[in-house]
Amino acid sequence: MKKQIAAVLLVLVAVLFAGCADQTSEMSADEIASMMEAKQAEIKDFSATVVTTISVGGEDTTTWATIMTKPPDKSRMEYIEPAEVAGMVEVTNGSTVWTYDSAKNLVTKMELPDREGIPHEMDYTGIGIIRALLDETDISLEGIENIDSRSTYLLDATPKDGVEIGIFARMRVWVDRENWMVLGIGCFDKDDNLIMKVEYRDITFNTGIPDSEFVFEAPVGAEVVETSFDDMIPEEMTLEDARANLTFDPKTPAYLPEGYEFDHAMLLGDFYGSEQEILSLKYTNGSGILHLRECISDGSGQLEPAMGEPEIVEINGTDGKFTSMFGRNSLCWNADGIDYSLSGELEKDELVKVAESIP
Q: What is the CATH number of the domain that holds 199?
A: 2.50.20.10
Which CATH number fits the domain that encloses residue 294?
Answer: 3.30.200.100
| 164 and 244 together in one domain | no
Residues 76 and 127 in one domain: yes
Does any domain span residue 229?
no
Residue 225 lies in a domain: no
Residue 119 lies in a domain: yes
What total of structural domains would you count in the chain?
A: 2
Name the domain boundary from 161, 184, 205.
205
291 and 158 in a common domain: no
* Together in a domain, 171 and 28: yes
Query: Which has the closest alpha carbon to 213: 48, 344, 109, 77?
Result: 77
Rounded-to-integer distance, Cα 304 and Cα 293, Å: 10
Q: How far apart are CA 99 and CA 242, in angstroms?
A: 29
Residue 218 in any domain: the answer is: no
- Flag whether 18 is in a domain: yes
Could you tell me if 192 and 277 lie in one domain? no
330 and 261 in one domain?
yes
pLDDT for 27: 43
- The reply to whether 254 and 166 lie within a common domain is no
Spatial distance between the Cα atoms of 51 and 327, rounded to a whole number of angstroms: 26
In a domain, 223, yes or no: no
Mean pLDDT value across residues 292-299: 87
**Which residues, 6+ apart, have CB-to-CB distance to 213 below 8 Å?**
68, 70, 74, 76
Give the per-residue pLDDT at 117: 41
Which pLDDT value is given to residue 71?
A: 83
What pLDDT sits at residue 303? 67
Weakest-pLDDT range from 3-12, 96-105, 283-292, 339-348: 3-12
Is residue 226 one of the residues assigned to a domain?
Answer: no
Percentage of the chain exceeding pLDDT 70 = 72
* Co-location of 245 and 315 in the same domain: yes
CA 125/CA 331 separation, integer angstroms: 38
Residue 167 domain boundaries? 2-205
**For the ranges 113-117, 138-142, 342-346, which has the lowest average pLDDT?**
113-117
Q: In terms of pLDDT, which residue wins out, 192 or 291?
A: 291
Say yes or no: 155 and 75 in one domain. Answer: yes
For residue 176, give the nearest of 11, 16, 4 by alpha carbon.
Answer: 16
- The pLDDT assigned to 324 comes to 77
Instruction: DSSP for 46-113, please give it.
Output: EEEEEEEEEEETTEEEEEEEEEEEETTTEEEEEEEESTTTTT-EEEE-SSEEEEEETTTTEEEEEEPP
Please choose, from the candidates 121, 126, 122, the residue with its C-alpha nearest in 3D space to the C-alpha of residue 12.
Answer: 126
- Whole-Å CA distances, 236 to 240, 241, 246, 268: 12, 10, 15, 10
Q: Which CA distances in Å does 351 have to 12, 265, 304, 340, 355?
A: 38, 19, 15, 12, 6
Beta strands, E only, 160-222: 170-176, 182-188, 194-205
Domain assignment present for 186: yes
d(CA 334, CA 263): 24
Q: Are residues 94 and 158 in the same domain?
A: yes
* pLDDT tens digits for range 118-142: 444 554 433 333 444 455 667 777 8
Say which residues have a Cβ less than 8 Å from residue 31's Cβ, sequence separation at least 6.
Answer: none
Residues 33 and 176 in one domain: yes
**Per-residue pLDDT reduced to its tens digit, 42-80:** 888 889 899 999 887 678 889 999 999 898 889 999 999
Q: Which residues contact 233 (CB under 8 A, 6 or more apart)?
A: none
Evaluate whether 68 touches 76 at the Cβ level (below 8 Å): yes
Query: Is the pLDDT score of 4 beyond 90?
Result: no
For 7-31, how does the pLDDT look when each residue is reduced to its tens digit (9 = 90+)? Answer: 333 334 333 333 333 433 344 445 5
- Considering the domain architecture, whether residues 175 and 33 belong to the same structural domain is answered as yes
